Structure 1
Amino acid sequence: MDIDYTLIYGVIASVVSAVIIAAVTRRLLGARVGWPRAIIVSGVALFAFGPVGLWVARQTGLVRGETITVGTAEVLGLFLLGFCWALVACTAVLVILEALVPTGTFSSPLQWPRAIRDAARRGARYAHLSWIVASSGLSGVLRQGPRSERFDEALVRMFERAGVSFVKLGQLLSTRQDVVPPSTARALSRLQSEAEPAPTADILGVLAQDWGKDPDTVLARFDAQPLGAASIAQVHGAQLQSGLEVVLKVQRPVAQASVRVDGDIIMRFARTSERRFGWARELGLAALAGGLVKVMKEELDYVVEAGYTRTAARLLAPSPDLVVPQVYPELSSRRVLVMSRLSGVPVERGAERLSPERRTELARTLLQATLSGVLVDGFFHADLHPGNLLLLDDDRLGLLDFGAVGVIDQETRTLLAALLAAIVDDDNVAAATALGMAFDLPADVDRRVLRRELGRIMTLVHTSGEVGATLFTELFGLLRAHHIAVPGDVAGAFRTLASVEETLKVLDPETSLLKGARAVMPALIKRLTEPEQLGRKLGAESLVALSVARRLPERGEVISNALARGEFSLRTHPLADLGERRWLRSVLDDAVSGFFAAVLAVIAVILAMTPGGGSLTPELGLNQIAAAVLGLVAVVLALRVLVRVFARRSSNGD
């Protein structure tokens, strides 16, 4: 069989030429345009260049019949000009494509099957959720938002009907009283996570997939009836082949896909709501939804929860009355968590059997461990309600479910300790100072009003003798009223302290968070200020101070010499930030480029319409050729300005 090498060489030359043209076009744009679209557009332009160029040559008299009417030098120059216009045409097409469908909008072909599957699921889910939103009455009150009397109930109905992910989202949102109104938080707190158990075969299938073996080779017994079934996972009792009693927390098979699809829908809805509704912008709905979706996805990874559980066991080791289940990492995975089984009953049912002294002792131990986790260690159980506590058979407390924990940095812990100590001592001046240092206060906050309102809340707390949910509800309302943002983990710390109050009342009705904090805070403050801990902090700070001090003599000498010579001056930089200078420079560059593009375009139009100046052919004058050159430069400048403006808007999130 004869091989047509001419065709092969032609294809290779075309591909190489298309790649070169694509590279030049990307360079002209000054932006990272996707290679596939750049090569496709350049290839189309390359194949169209011959026919289009010949048509233009005939129209301008450069070619008559089969004869070229101008010299070789003129042909080469005009060919180069035409080729440049082809490049500009490619650039214009790419700019339009980037504006309509930015690079990165679509995944690589290898990811298309999954993307198509997810898109189909998302489309079906959109239709289902649209019906749920309409039937629950939420669509009629979205514009007013929480200001509508019917909003809270409609929101709860929608979350209840929408399934696994939305129930979990509602539960998380109910704990963020720092950003949602109290009425909305109370309504969402009624959402129940209990659900119909998944079929036993499905649960065993998850175990087999994650263990890579038949569950019967690992388990001597598996209790088909779950101990509890929630929206995301369910818990089963079991016995290992070694005879150890364990509990298995197994994720529902559909949980991962459900949260992935619903999480994307939630984010799209939040961004759309911010654009359309004022209440959503005030709430910062997109950022709030992003944080909650992130938490939902993190809670789906039981490897993380296993690590949290082991950390909690290590930190609580000095408190023998508090027990954390042992994790078996060799049997745990992202969807399966295997832990030792704690034998006991819910603390509400078992507290009556304890002596008053033991109940008081356990309440104090629990409070001290909770405050120590929040204020000293910076790691704490963020969902410490009575349902997550067991009274064990040996009269100790078992802590369950470390899927939600809080982590707080050292500086914030110190400030929270100061805030809580001030609240306990009824010192609103110190409390307001600690509050202002712990959180970023807006520039327009009236600190005197803030201090007075905080003092009023503290007075009511001390009058009632309780710090629990009332204090934190009032405190969150105060922060919302002054538009003070609270980090999620700090809000989790407040929530934990509020929920532990409820548990303290179950253990010992005579105690309270305020009373207990008064008893344990001196010991915690002593731990925070003990010489060894302060010495470690001062060590790092001393090294920094030493580096600064060593530079002071040199800088002092420079200043004193300048003063002696009368050359000392102060200069201010309104645009001291490098990012601001770059932004201003880019705006000025674009303005200058746009101005020159407009000037060159006007000159090109005038030249194109002006006869004379000599001619190459009766149809083509030198003025028209000059107009084509100037127009080419004008279009390139204009396209670059457009691309830079789009890029700047995209980076600003507009």
Structure 2
Amino acid sequence: MIRPKLLLRLIHINWVMMLHGLDEIVLKTHLFRPVRFLALLSPNYWLRKPSEPRGVRIRRTLEDLGPIYVKFGQALSTRKDLLPEDIADELVKLQDKVPPFPNEAARRIIEQQLGQNIEEAFAEFDPNPLASASVAQVHTATLNSGEKVIVKVLRPDIEQRIHSDVGLLYELAKLAERFWKDAKRLRALEVVAEFEKTILDELDLVKEASNASKIRRNFEGSEALYVPEIHWPLTREKVLVMERIHGIPVGEVEQLRAGGADFKLLAERGVEIFFTQVFRDNFFHADMHPGNIFVDLPAKYLAVDFGIVGTLSSSDQRYLAENFLAFFNRDYRRVAQMHIESGWVPSSTRVEEFESAIRSVCEPIFAKPLKDISFGLLLLRLFQTARRFDMVVQPQLVLLQKTLLNIEGLGRQLYPELDLWQTAKPFLENWFKERLGPKAKLKKIMDQFPEIAEQFPELPTLFFHALDSASKSKQQLEANNREIEQLRHQMESNHSSTLWVILASAAIISTAVLVQ
């Protein structure tokens, strides 16, 4: 049963949706048409603003519901191929145009965190936010040294709202697992737990700053990506100070075109950056919506907002690389085998049948540019295939899948002619050669050689102890066998003590097994 506090939150969510007229959208669906007349009984039916387009109503509903819902809208905003144009255009505003919180609150948080007045910390500080998103907003400032920076400030009371909504997600996941047969296969509770960890990490700006520093080091000197420098002396849990960058938002395609951007190179570098972060560094920026990405003309990316990053285990990393490469080579049998070996689908699955299903979904999209691929249809068919073969969702890969969808969405906007598969394939082939080829194995042996060499003087002693231990075990076993034989003779000659003999024999046999 849902707790009263969460029930109130659920009622509030429904109230906000009705207030913005989203009940009208729901009631227009085929399922609810017979009961549409009931909407006339609701006071909200007469309070709503009918002049507002549906896209505006959806955006404002997500803004009013809070950060988790805004993030959902941000994720959808990158997939204009899956949404009606009017809704997609409105959701783009959620990337950096969420209504800001009052300037006085921002100033109070900054001064509390820094332990000094803003006038002491900065030579200049603009109280009007440069951008505002779901979790924080950004102000421009100048350090006393003259360096131009941005100051990121967490929204007040953000933790309470997030905990409330995550609690509701847990309750809904529990209900789903109880009443929906597919929920366990989709691992709803584990997906929510992974999401909770991700969203809570965003509330510590020191952690975000360390993420940015790591990715900055990984791409030091890169022509593809630049990450601003963190100003550590003024960075705290709720305040982050970072070098200010100047670029064109990646979503402003017309502005990029007017500036002479190289769209083909931008699209290819986006794919390169993604695979480099995932497979070379095993540390990837997992919130790459257009509000966080800028372009330094003609084709260099500038990235900000590293509150959400992802990593993979070595087994997941290698498994994914093999899957990608098999997929790019159209080796669907290998893809099917790896899914079964990894436990993603039941071991009883017939390889041939699964291979055929994967081929029927994937083969039609090869040799096509992004603009000719219907990802809506592709996703639908993939979900149908997953359900048919009881494919289990992997919560640890949810961030990776989200990031890949963002990258593909950016590529579609920038250069629809991009061949995603051929761009990524050479990178993965080189990664395999570097990590798993003969040279890589030889290098691993050479790297371990000093440690192995240290053990050389001890090898004769270790060998002697092993032989001595084996010899003693053998002698003990022979002694135990003699005792068992003696007990057998006693049992034959003394029937009155049979029970005790059996118990003693069992004890001796147990000792023998342990010694072995």
TM-score w.r.t. length of structure 1: 0.55
Judge which range, 342-351 or 423-432, deviates more.
342-351
2:496 maps to none
SS in 2 for 1:504: helix
- 1:201 and 2:98 are equivalent in the alignment: no
CA contact (8 A) 2:259 2:297 kept: no
Q: CA 1:329–1:445 in 2, change beyond 3 Å: closer, same or farther?
A: farther
Equivalent of residue 232 in structure 1, options 127, 131, 135: 135
Answer with 1 or 2: which has the greater Rg: 1
- 2:245 matches 1:342: yes
What CA deviation, in whole Å up to 9, does each residue of 1:201-233 have, x standing for no partner? 111111011111111111122223322212221
**Residue aligned with 1:247, SS:** strand
Q: Give aligned pairs, total.
A: 425
2: CA distance, partners of 1:350 / 1:253: 35
1:529 maps to 436
Hey, what does 2:65 align to over in structure 1? Answer: 163
The aligned runs of 1:102-181 (5 Å cut-off) are: 125=9, 128-129=12-13, 131-132=15-16, 160=62, 163-168=65-70, 170-171=72-73
Corresponding residue number in structure 2 for 1:633 = none
CA RMSD of superposed structures (Å): 4.6
Structure 1 residues 391 and 533: CA distance shift in structure 2, 3 A: same
**How far 1:340 moved relative to its partner?**
0.7
Q: Which residue number in structure 2 is paired with residue 330 of structure 1?
A: 233
Picking from 250, 257, 262, the partner of 1:352 is 257
Matched residue, 2:401: 494
State how far apart, in whole Å, the 2-side matches of 1:536 and 1:270 are. Answer: 47
Q: Which residue of 2 aligns with 1:219?
A: 122
**CA separation in 2, counterparts of 1:409 and 1:460?**
32
- State the match for 1:445 in structure 2: 349
Aligned to 2:272: 368
Q: Secondary structure at the match of 2:153?
A: strand
Q: CA deviation at 1:476?
A: 5.2
Alignment match, 1:411: 315
Out of 241, 247, 251, the residue aligned to residue 150 of structure 2 is: 247
Q: 2:419 aligns with which of 506, 512, 525?
A: 512
User: Displacement of 1:440 after TM fit?
Assistant: 2.9
Deviations 1:37-61 (A, max 9, x none): xxxxxxxxxxxxxxxxxxxxxxxxx
State the one-letter code of the partner of 1:486. Answer: V
Is 1:461 aligned with 2:345? no
In structure 2, how many angstroms separate the alpha carbons of the residues matched to 1:268 and 1:505? 37
Question: Contact 2:340 / 2:349 at 8 angstroms: preserved in 1?
Answer: no
Q: Is the 8 A contact 1:416 1:434 kept in 2?
A: no
Aligned equivalents of 2:322, 2:192: Cα separation in 1: 31
Helix, strand or coil: the match of 2:141?
A: strand
**Amino acid across the alignment from 1:498:** L
Answer yes or no: is the 8 Å Cα contact 2:226–2:302 preserved in 1.
Answer: yes
Offset at 1:245? 0.9
Residue type matched to 2:310 in 1?
A: G
The farther-off stretch of 375-384 and 491-500 is 491-500
Distance 1:469 1:383 in 2: 24
CA distance in 1, matches of 2:319, 2:304: 29
For the structure 1 residues 434 and 281, does the alpha-carbon distance in structure 2 shift closer, same or farther, using more than 3 Å as the test? closer
Where do 1:570-581 residues align within 5 Å?
Answer: none
Cα deviation, residue 493, structure 1: 2.4
Question: Counterpart of 2:366 in 1: which secondary structure?
Answer: helix
Query: Which blocks of at least 5 consecutive residues in structure 1 are unaligned?
Result: 1-118, 566-654
Q: Corresponding residue for 2:281?
A: 377
> Aligned partners of 2:320, 2:364: CA distance in 1, in Å?
20
Tell me the residue number matched to 2:48: none
Q: Provide closer, same or farther for how the CA distance between residues 537 and 139 of structure 1 changes in structure 2, counting only shifts above 3 A.
A: farther
Q: How far does the alpha carbon of each residue in 1:223-281 deviate from its partner, in whole angstroms, 9 at most, with x for none? A: 23322212221112211111111112211112122112333333234334544555655
Cα offset for 1:477? Answer: 4.9
Structure 2 counterpart of 1:26: none
Contact 1:406/1:492 (<8 A) preserved:
yes
CA apart distance, 1:312: 0.9
Change (3 A) 1:350 1:448: same
User: Does the CA contact (< 8 Å) of 1:412 and 1:438 recur in 2?
Assistant: no
Structure 1: distance between partners of 2:275 and 2:357: 25
State how 1:252-651 maps to structure 2 within 5 Å.
252-276=155-179, 283-317=186-220, 319-347=222-250, 348-352=253-257, 359-392=263-296, 396-438=300-342, 440-466=344-370, 470=375, 474-475=381-382, 477-531=384-438, 533-535=440-442
Counterpart amino acid of 2:109?
V
Higher mean C-alpha displacement, 234-243 vs 492-501: 492-501
CA contact (8 A) 1:227 1:235 kept: yes
Q: How far is the alpha carbon of 1:482 from its aligned partner?
A: 2.5
Change (3 A) 1:147 1:436: farther
| TM-score normalised by L of structure 2 | 0.68
Match of 1:59 in 2: none
Indicate conservation of the 8 Å contact 2:247/2:296, yes or no: yes
- Structure 2 residue identity aligned to 1:426: R
State the secondary structure of the residue aligned to 2:288.
coil
- Alignment partners' CA distance in 2, 1:158 and 1:225: 21
The alpha-carbon distance between structure 1 residues 460 and 189, as it changes in their structure 2 partners (threshold 3 A), is farther
Q: Tell me the distance in 2 between the aligned counterparts of 1:324 and 1:253.
A: 27
Residue 292 of structure 1 and its aligned partner are, at CA, apart by 2.1
SS in 2 for 1:288: helix
2:113 maps to: 210
Q: Tell me, in whole angstroms, the C-alpha distance in 1 between the residues paired with 2:248 and 2:63.
A: 32
